[in-house]
Chain A
């Protein structure tokens, strides 16, 4: 039994191509209906998204608190002050202590005994040394 030649096979392919099934009107309608459905859902989503983007109502209690403190600007200032206080407390307890207690009281005594040059360089007119005013991170390191 011999095989079919290439040319007759090609002719067969061509015939098959011509005899390709045509989609029924029903299928076309279903496909189009699907497309419409997809567009409709997408438009609905789009509308929902646009609605979503309008400013949201805040929780009434939170809104009242912010209003009582003087609006969001005041709340921002408070927050900044709070963070700064935390940073000072963490970063420079020694400085704070020196400023608050010993430094200034001691300065009168030392002013008399040290030479004029030394005081003018090291402590200026006040009793503070320069390092007293610079935040120190030693404490953080040593305590940890």
Chain B
């Protein structure tokens, strides 16, 4: 590339083999990207896009929309990279927060159009196939998640599926840790109630409760 020498200052990471980046923190990669490192962009994409997509898909259900949200969130990350302030927040926390807000906006718009347009959960077909069984379970969980209020759903997904700690969830949702605890507890109870009618389909008949 025909650039002045000052622009090409991001060499140290770029010359490393790709595997070496596995040990580099998200933040270091982001700062390196902010300095124009393309290899850092690749590593960050590999590492963060699945997380972002997984979370947005849980909140939105619609696969295409979830991908749009994931792309948008990553684009915001790329744009903020040069101004990223070290040590202020975790990159993944920041991303979860952006995704939460983007999904909330989309859901709000969708709700304006009416609930009918949201995809219905798949029919409950009894099957011996283990894979199908698992998919049914996951679908049932997703359907139950969709019945929760937004905040509860976000908290439950972050806590139990994404595996975040309560303090981090508090940061993502911009609420107190106590509020997170109450949200997840209420969300979980609501889930258990919603799924109770589908025990047989879920294969939990012999729960013994």
Contact = CB atoms under 8 A, between A and B. Distances in A.
Interface of A: 1-6, 8-10, 12-13, 15-17, 19-24, 27-28, 30-32, 34-36, 38-39, 42-43, 46-47, 50
A21 B53 contact: yes
Given A9-B195, A28-B45, A4 B161 contact: no
B207 A4 contact: yes
B75 A34 contact: yes
Given A8-B204, A12-B137, A42-B36, A27 B78 contact: no
A15 B3 CA distance: 50
Given A4-B199, A12-B141, A32 B42 contact: yes
Given A2-B209, A9-B188, A43 B142 contact: no
Given A21-B66, A28-B45, A38 B54 contact: no
B65 interface: no
B38 interface: yes
B193 to A, nearest CB: 5
Nearest to B80: A38
Given A9-B191, A35-B38, A38-B81, 14 more contacts: A4-B192, A4-B196, A5-B204, A8-B202, A12-B202, A13-B161, A15-B141, A17-B163, A28-B49, A31-B71, A36-B41, A38-B79, A39-B38, A43-B36
Nearest to B163: A17
Nearest to A39: B36
A142 B163 CA distance: 79
Contacts of B67: 23-24, 27
A32 B41 contact: yes
Contacts of B54: 20-21
Contacts of A47: 3-4, 7
Contacts, number: 122
B28 interface: no
Given A20-B54, A27-B53, A34 B207 contact: no
A19 B138 contact: yes
6 contacts: A4-B204, A20-B50, A21-B53, A28-B45, A35-B33, A39-B38
A93 B50 CA distance: 81
A35 B78 contact: yes
B135 interface: yes
Contact of A34 (B63, B74, B189): B74
Interface in B1-60: 3-4, 6-7, 33, 36, 38, 41-42, 44-46, 49-50, 53-54, 57-58
Interface in B174-209: 188-189, 191-193, 195-197, 199, 202, 204, 207, 209
Contacts of A35: 33, 38, 41, 44-45, 74, 78
Contacts of A16: 58, 138, 141-142, 161
